[in-house]
Structure 1
């Protein structure tokens, strides 16, 4: 990514945002870290796709927007020239009206251009307007069919053929609805194979147990060895604990199948002052506290084959201190509430000294539009 850092797109900016605390913080001073910490706390709220309590969510979002702007302007007041910073102040109003921000982003509507382009490309250019109209008419028919509308003479072979429907192929609707969870197709590595835990075997008497590489929980999440999860027990009043997946099992009894995850529980620790994230054992390693070094020991894979080239990897020197990455995207209210990182309201209350400090740094940096000294801008301060 460093080779094309000048041409990042949204996906790569998200990767940088989530990795910044663990990669870039050692090269920053305290003021720069404060800006990035505020940004890492704001981003999960902006990219949150589901909102349980709108008023509570908007209150937290508004505070973190002000907190980010506070530290950004404190570093240098030159950021006031950035129009997009002002747009952040109107984000809570837009979310209250339209819903989660990432669901009404401009890119969502611009993606409709692909529909127009698809309709115009598949044309012989003799009568493009007619071809586009026919394509959209077909789309309208498909839109009517998909919601489950009634269709007259549905058994007519000609109509079935026009819809690319083959009556000879049975459709298992129940299997389609139960697509998740299911076992992944990845092969279990030999080094990860273990014997069946006695407790699991006693709990599933009469079942055949098979260790698998992982479970596809939904379209985006895979449960496998090395993944960290939040576990909420039914009798624990909604309290969740962090867990590290050790191995995954599939239980079979006749035609019934179920999946079981063996994990190690960990308790929640303190809030780390350096990262401003919740500490926990064996989750995200605290490289700053352990002074971990970067060595060129990793092998680069080219076309699924290991090459002779080595890439830089972090060698963790201590496995007793880790932190939970609160900058994970998309933002999860469950993770944020579980981590419960203090907001530090008292740190962002003194607005006037912050503005004076930012203006002073802008003046010291110079530039065409740099302001004068503070003694000229605000004589009462002197």
Structure 2
């Protein structure tokens, strides 16, 4: 068939012309394209205009003639002469130069995500450092990328750094762009080609800084993404502190590489101070090139020592010749990959930046401020949390209390979604506001899809600003010292570039480290990285064969495993678990309304006249004596499993295009038919948010108990709801035996008894279904509200104590300098020798004022 390339004119079935710009799959099925329309010019010249200012969507199936077909049939539309200059660069790109690379075969682009980190190869706590490189295929749907099966080992070494390993991968990537990799299509009747590109580099923040050639979070300019920061003297000024809350001028790989080259050239002169000063002033210090910089500095000094009469310029010229001969080999390969900019393509990662950053900071500030009695109350309340609809494991409050200083990501997820409901009256208003702001931001960041992009970006900006402002209000120094807080300013940019930020989570790569360790412990330790690579390569080959992949035999023939071998994986769950593979049948959405009946041994059929449905406000019509089977759970439209007692949103039976909230009271499955009903205890969403928690409140519909009956397929999704214990006055009045190994221990423990007050709070900090919840509720109840209106004036107030502390520190340093100078003069007087010129003079440092006009005092940190 015909092959259609981007940037080439093509004809669609309607007879119109378009220029495809980007191919995309809609709903994971149909192939579409964003295209420029080529429209007739209405000036009677029978010419066409290329409208490159707007995009139209076209189905790939509607394309009928490609560029070469149009040329052969002489149907290529002529461009308007008056706009020929404007269209020249479009026409000059035709035919697409990729035709030559493809050699008449389909050509695809494969975008890979690179993950790198230092990992211990030991299963014990003994550290055995290895640098690892893994990749995933970014073209796959995200539901597949969340499987361990699709993480692929690339390389490991206890000696070679990540950048050194990536240099080899870079050569492979560049080779594929000049000589695309040729592979057989299914059935091996045709061949296709593909090129490799780097989509993004995921890692923790220190590793991402290393990939960017950045000085790190301890530098004056501590952001790998932008030029935020400055000296400490500047940071404590009004303007300098306010700038810490905003993304500054962005960095780029091109500018970073240029700066690194300038540092190399400077190193050829042999003065270490000049290089280190430049690194401090720019925030660029590439760890890969630093080895060569140190070598050049040492070599320059050696050459000078060997011949004192030799000029500095002559030595620098000789060393630069060596630099030119080695070319790009001495520079960070991450900065030289075509189409990849590590300054922009190292997105914020929710595990290390959000859970182990923002949430962890808030948690530490909170639990350390609580007395032992307050901690006991908090964890008692925490244990009473409802977790239905949160998709988290059961909360073990006693464990969280015991290990409160060393929690991990999944435990911070538990606390993040529930803590705010239990901290009232235990912490001050600022910390309570911090938990509300953090929960609101995190719920937005866990969106798997974005219904309204502009509205979503605006919400993220407000929510991130609220978190930063409250942190600054509690502890102004956090904004200056914690780079993870500043990275929140880059969230909108990352979301625009990569989509929902939860898709960039690295938890899956961290899990794959366990596979790496299993391979590492079987090494003979003589050549560990080689042994590990061989074992993991064998696993990759096995995964390819058992999923129907093809390989080339020694005679050049392409073959694949038999159907019996390929079907083996789908039948054996043990193998699936070992490989981290989930069958597609479990990933696809289940049929809404599917129900599971109560097991046969406990099943008691009920007559329709005895069901809860008959008492509802909208009872369906059925024979009174017809038999119905109670259900355990149903599948909602969102594929959520909704049990009896779950809180859900469903289709309202009283108004068109409206939804209603309720708690599942009964599930009824028709014995002789296919109808399934869900009886809900009806609740209504209040018109205003809770005065304390700023979340929507659920109250009895019209102030009285009532129920409604819905078809099971009309249940939209599950939500998490917490009892309003603050309003009801719930306390630890209950007592029960403490269970150990499923048996009563004989020791009683207290627990929170919820009072019979039907008032509940919709948990807006719940990560599961956060996007659906905000779509279905009124905008006024879910839109983030700015915590501070005039941020600049507030930041001026926040920075005052920092500036005062800085000035006090400078005064002490100045006094110490004067004291040392005086002691030096006195000592020189006793010995009868005059001090060296200027040795008794201390550089004076004036304190920093509001605008920070003073010169720098303390030596800038690297």
> How would you bin the TM-score normalised by the shorter chain?
0.7 to 0.9
Q: Deviations over 1:207-252 (max 9, x none)?
A: 6311133335599843222211111248844322211111112223
- 1:183 equivalent among 583, 591, 596: 596
TM-score by length of 2: 0.37
Q: Secondary structure at the match of 2:461?
A: helix
Instruction: Name the counterpart of 1:48.
Output: 447
Q: Deviations over 1:120-148 (max 9, x none)?
A: 667899994554433221111234369xx
Corresponding residue number in structure 2 for 1:67:
466
CA contact (8 A) 1:43 1:331 kept: no
Name the structure 2 match of 1:16. Answer: 415
2:482 matched to which residue of 1?
82
Distance in 1 between residues matched to 2:585 and 2:627, nearest whole Å: 22
Q: In the alignment, is the contact (CA less than 8 A) between 2:649 and 2:661 conserved in 1?
A: yes
Contact 2:597 2:669 in 1 (8 A): no
Between 177-186 and 51-60, report the one with greater CA deviation. 177-186
For the 8 Å contact 2:733–2:753, the answer to whether it is kept is yes
RMSD over equivalenced CA pairs, Å: 4.4
Contact 1:189 1:213 (8 Å CA) reproduced: no
Alpha-carbon contact 1:76-1:362 (below 8 Å) kept: no
**Equivalent position of 2:402 in the other structure:** 3
Could you tell me how far apart the structure 2 residues matched to 1:144 and 1:114 are?
A: 26
Conserved 8 A contact 2:722-2:760: yes
Aligned with 1:50: secondary structure? coil
Partners of 2:753 and 2:407 lie apart in 1 by 28
What secondary structure, in the 3-state scheme, does the structure 2 residue paired with 1:330 have? coil
Aligned pair in 2 of structure 1 residues 186, 319: CA closer, same or farther (>3 Å)? farther
Q: Relative to 1, partners in 2 of residues 1:357 and 1:153: Cα closer, same or farther, differing over 3 Å?
A: closer
1:145-160 alignment to 2 at 5 Å? 154=562, 160=564
Name the TM-score, length of structure 1 as normaliser: 0.77
* Whole-Å separation in 2 of the counterparts to 1:369 and 1:82: 23
- Structure 2 partner of 1:134: 538
Map Cα deviations across residues 300-354 of structure 1 (whole Å, 9 max, x no partner).
Answer: 3322334433333223345143321111123512212416426464642111342
Once the two structures are TM-superposed, the CA of residue 187 in structure 1 deviates from its matched residue by 9.0
The structure whose RCO (Cα within 8 Å, separation 6+) is larger is 1
Aligned with 2:667 (options 240, 248, 253): 248
Counterparts of 2:437 and 2:523, CA distance in 1: 51
Contact 1:41 1:327 (8 Å CA) reproduced: yes
Larger Rg over CA atoms? 2
Could you say which residue in structure 1 is the equivalent of 2:764?
A: 326
Moved more, 81-90 or 173-182: 173-182
Aligned partner of 1:170 in structure 2 is none
Q: Which residue of 2 aligns with 1:378?
A: 850
- Structure 2 distance, partners of 1:208, 1:319, is 34
Q: Where does residue 789 of structure 2 map in the other structure?
A: 349
Q: Distance in 1 between matches of 2:806 and 2:736?
A: 44
- Taking the aligned partners of 1:216 and 1:184, their CA distance within structure 2 comes to 12
Structure-2 separation of matches of 1:292 and 1:166: 50
Residues 352, 174 of structure 1: alpha-carbon distance in 2 compared, 3 angstrom cutoff: closer
Indicate conservation of the 8 Å contact 2:459/2:783, yes or no.
no
Q: Could you tell me how far apart the structure 2 residues matched to 1:319 and 1:110 are? A: 44
Q: Contact between 1:250 and 1:260, CA under 8 Å: does it hold in 2? A: yes
Pick which of 30-39 and 198-207 moved more.
Answer: 198-207
Q: Once the two structures are superposed, what CA deviation does each residue of 1:26-65 show, in whole Å capped at 9, x if it has no partner?
A: 2122222222211121110011212223222112111110
The 2-side partners of 1:251 and 1:70 are apart by: 56
The CA distance in 1 between the partners of 2:723 and 2:441, in whole Å, is 22
Change (3 A) 1:188 1:5: farther
CA 1:378–1:202: 2 relative to 1, 3 Å? closer
Task: Give the corresponding residue for 2:611.
Answer: 196
Please state how far the C-alpha of 1:73 moved relative to its aligned partner.
Answer: 1.0
Partner of 2:682 in structure 1?
A: 265
Residue range with higher mean Cα deviation, 60-69 or 344-353: 344-353
Cα distance between partner residues in 2 of 1:299 and 1:75: 41
Cα distance in 2 between the residues matched to 1:237 and 1:371: 69
For residues 25-40 of structure 1, the aligned pairs below 5 Å read 25-40=424-439
Label 1:353 to 1:261 Cα distance change in 2 as closer, same or farther (>3 A): same
Structure 2: 5+ residue stretches without partners: 1-399, 551-558, 572-582, 701-720, 812-846, 853-862
Distance in 1 separating the partners of 2:440 and 2:484: 18
State the distance in 2 between where 1:225 and 1:211 align.
Answer: 10
Counterparts in 2 of 1:51 and 1:198: CA distance versus 1, 3 Å: closer
Q: Which residue of 2 aligns with 1:309?
A: 747
User: Partners of 1:90 and 1:97 in 2: how far apart?
Assistant: 11
- Change over 3 Å in CA distance of 1:20–1:178 after alignment to 2: closer
My pick for the range that moved more, 258-267 or 231-240, is: 231-240
Question: Alignment length, in residue pairs?
Answer: 362
Sort the Cα spacing of 1:94 and 1:346 in 2 relative to 1 into closer, same or farther, 3 A: closer
Greater Cα offset, 216-225 or 54-63:
216-225
Contact 2:698 2:759 in 1 (8 A): yes
Contact 2:597 2:630 in 1 (8 A): no
Q: Hey, what's the Cα distance between the residues in 1 that align with 2:523 and 2:695? A: 55
